[in-house]
Amino acid sequence: MIEPNVSFFIPLIQSDYKINGNHKLDNASEENNSDSSFLGLRAGITFGIKI
Amino acid sequence: MWINIVKVLFLVSCSLLLTPHKAYSQTTEVGIWSGFGTNNLNSLRIIPAQTLNGKTISKLSTTDSYPINYGIGIELNKAYQVYTFGVFFRYEKSGTQKAYYDLTQELYYDQEGTNLVFGISGKYILWKQQHSNLKLYPYFSFKTGTSFSELSYREKQENLNTNIVDAFDIIPKYSLLSLVSGLKQIKDLL
């Protein structure tokens, strides 16, 4: 099984960011909204077997 | 709402994987995937944040890096001739480890990111529409899942790994929708 493939993807929902330690985010909700418009592109190939 | 939709799709996929389907010949496929792509970790760099010392990390440029990562993954599909249903897992690693310099803070930042993506997929293969003896047949696929990401920053006084003054991670999570097209060998299903 050989499958070359191309995909487009978008994030549907993005949760609030968490940041570790004592750091904090400013205006996190505002930035989250702007990030949700991301459109990604991915290309790859799958090698497989049937079982 | 989307979480519930994902749960329903997952249960439907699992039931299709586990239930024998007598109308078509069927098989189970296990595959290893590898590929390259863009990532939305690039956009996370514009998040203003404050360090332990109260310094505000300015909006770092999004143009001085390559928003490309590479990934590996595994897939498990139940195939019914022209349809397949399955689950997938991917590990993606940013290939854009690079230093950023903030002139106002006189600090450098290194960033690198990882994604763990879990999801389900359905596939429709344009097999019966073909009349030639093709080795590869086109297919269209729908995938949905959730990505758990981690974006690590290292703050440095100089652009050297030995001068790290602080480090922190930003951890986002998002659900994704993906449309896929590709080519598939069909001989295993005949």
Render pLDDT for B47-100 as a digit per residue (tens, 0 to 9): 455 555 555 555 554 444 566 789 999 999 998 878 899 999 999 887 555 555
The angle at the Cα of B45, spanning B43 to B49, to the nearest 5 degrees, equals 130
pLDDT at B120 over 90: yes
In this complex, do A18 and B170 lie within 8 Å of one another by their Cβ atoms?
yes
> Quick one: average pLDDT of B162-168?
73
Confidence tier at B40 by pLDDT (50, 70, 90): low
Report the first-to-last Cα separation within chain A, whole angstroms.
11
Q: Output the CA torsion B123→B125→B126→B132 (10° steps).
A: 160
Mean pLDDT of the region A13-28: 58
Cβ neighbours, 10 Å, residue B56: 13
Tell me B161's DSSP state.
Answer: G
Which tokens hold the place of A13?
A: 């929902």
The residues, any chain, with a CB within 8 Å of residue B130's CB and separated by 6 or more, are B137
pLDDT at position B133 over 60: yes
Using the predicted structure, report yes or no on whether residue A51 has a pLDDT greater than 80.
yes
Beta-carbon count within 10 A of B174 CB? 22
Residues of A in contact with B164 (CB under 8 A): none
φ, ψ at B127 (rounded to 5°) = -100, -50
Q: Which residue of B has its CA nearest to A21?
A: B168
Cα separation values, B78 from B15, B21, B181, Å: 10, 10, 18
Write down the ipTM of this complex: 0.73
CB contact under 8 A, A5 and B47: no
Higher pLDDT, B175 or B140: B140
Task: Identify the residue with better confidence: B129 or A30.
Answer: B129
Least confident of B51-60, B125-134, B154-163: B51-60
SS3 content of chain B, % helix, strand, coil (to 5): 15, 55, 30
Q: Is B151 exposed, middle or buried (0-12, 13-18, 19+ CB in 10 A)?
A: buried
pLDDT on residue A30 = 43
pLDDT for B62: 42
Query: Has residue A33 got a pLDDT over 60?
Result: no
Q: What percent of chain B has pLDDT over 90?
A: 21
Residue B35 has its nearest CB partner, among A19, A21, A43, at A43
Contact B179 A42 (CB under 8 A): no
pLDDT band at A31 (very low <50, low <70, confident <90, very high): very low
